[in-house]
Amino acid sequence: MIHEEALGWVIRSRDPHFVDWDAFMLWLERDTAHAAAYDALMAADEALAPIIPAELAMVPHPANDPGYRPRHPWRWIAGGAIAAAAVGAISLSLINSTDIYTISTRPGETRLIALGDGTRIELNGDTRLRLDRLNPRFATLDGGEAAFTVRHDAKDPFRVTVGDALFEDAGTIFNIVRSGGSTRIGVSEGKVIYNPKAEAIALTAGRALADDAAGVRLMTVARDAVASWRQGRLVYENAALGEIAPDIARSLGIALAMTPGARAMHFTGTIRLQRDPAQFFAAAAPLMGLAAVRQGDGWLLKEEDGPRR
């Protein structure tokens, strides 16, 4: 019976003209199994997206997001997408089994996920995260940036896999960035163990680790700088601008290039995020000792005295 009801809501909520969100929320709240059934069917439905005409396809919202109140979905039309809200929609799809599912955000979007064990995960823009319906103590960050506020359980530690690395919590708030083949983690509370069965490096509050082509490096980080993107700011201490640029692009949802000279420069300070790229770069570029040049749909960061390209 629940399956049939959930299927009916999936069909109705996919309609661009659907407005009966209050009744939908009442149905979800009557039984926790309703949200699970709806999400599973919506995820399976999403797998059919390639055969749906572009002008009819929509991106669904997971029904079990905490505090979520459905709104009109993002509508897709030939030639591009029109956003219905600043915080964007999520694509939810099944990967390999009915238990493992993926949550992804588009550049410039953010999302809050609450797991059944009390753990909270906040996703920054352009992020892809995999979770397990049967194991709320597991996550895989495939790319992007996520802040984890973990409910500690010494007998069942929360684990995050990132590339070939494994991070295990010990009562923790931490932020992980995965960009290309590099990984960065900063800890603001508690402790995280990096590769507990190999290097077993303990990262306590105020410590950070980078794992990239240059190897594994340990650093000190201000605790309030960890996951500062959630408060609309980016905080750095002697960070290469080549590492900062992807953070900016991810948070603003823009394409951002840099000249080699700009990429090699370092920056210490706080950058305030603004949704309008022109306003953001007007303030942030000089702060970093750079100039920002609009290039089509993207931006170029270069040395202030460097040649225009």
Beta bridge partners of 239: 267
Task: Specify the pLDDT at position 43.
Answer: 60
- Residue from 203, 172, 197 nearest 185 by CA: 203
Please tell me the predicted confidence (pLDDT) of residue 171: 75
Across residues 83-101, what is the average pLDDT?
A: 44
pLDDT at 230: 92
% of the chain with per-residue pLDDT over 90: 45
- If one compares 35 and 259, the residue with the highest pLDDT of the two is 259
In this prediction, residue 76 carries a pLDDT of 29
Nearest to 263 by CA among 303, 223, 293: 303
Mean pLDDT, to the nearest integer, of 227-246?
90
**Which of 55-59, 65-69, 121-125, 210-214 shows the lowest mean pLDDT across its residues?**
55-59
Q: Which residue has the tokens 């650093």?
A: 219
Residue 248, CA atoms < 13 Å, CB-side half-sphere: 28
Assess contact for 257 and 246: CB atoms under 8 A: no
Q: What is the pLDDT of residues 263-284, one digit of tens each?
A: 889 999 999 998 899 999 999 9
Is the confidence at residue 234, as pLDDT, over 70? yes
What is the helix (H) or strand (E) element at residue 160, kind and residue range? strand 159-162
Of 170, 173, 149, nearest to 66 (Cα)?
149
Residue with structure tokens 């309030």?
Answer: 224
What distance in Å separates the CA atoms of residue 200 and residue 258, rounded to the nearest whole number? 36
Q: What's the whole-number average pLDDT of the chain?
A: 78
Q: d(Cα 175, Cα 188) in Å, to the nearest integer?
A: 8
Span 191-210, average pLDDT:
93
Of the segments 43-47, 76-80, 118-122, which one has the largest average pLDDT value? 118-122
> 30-39, 55-64, 220-229, 246-255 — which is least confidently predicted?
55-64
Instruction: Report the C-alpha gap between 269 and 233 in whole angstroms.
Output: 10
The residue that leads in pLDDT, 32 or 245, is: 245
Domains of the chain by start residue, with CATH: 1-85 (no CATH), 232-303 (3.55.50.30)
Give the per-residue pLDDT at 74.
32
Residue 5 pLDDT greater than 80, yes or no: no
Report which of residues 127 and 81 the model is more confident about: 127
- Exposed, middle or buried: residue 307 (CB in 10 Å: 0-12, 13-18, 19+)? exposed
pLDDT at 63 over 50: no
**Nearest to 107, CA basis, from 228, 247, 221, 8:** 247
Q: Three-state SS for 183?
A: strand
CA atoms within 13 A of residue 175's CA, in its CB half-sphere: 24
Beta strand 256-258 pairing with 298-303: parallel
The average pLDDT across 81-105 equals 51
Q: Is residue 82 very low, low, confident or very high in pLDDT (cuts 50, 70, 90)?
A: very low
Residues 6+ positions from 1 with CB-CB distance below 8 Å: none
CB neighbours of 140 closer than 8 A, spacing ≥ 6?
Answer: 129, 130, 160, 161, 162
| pTM (two decimals) | 0.64
pLDDT of residue 222: 86
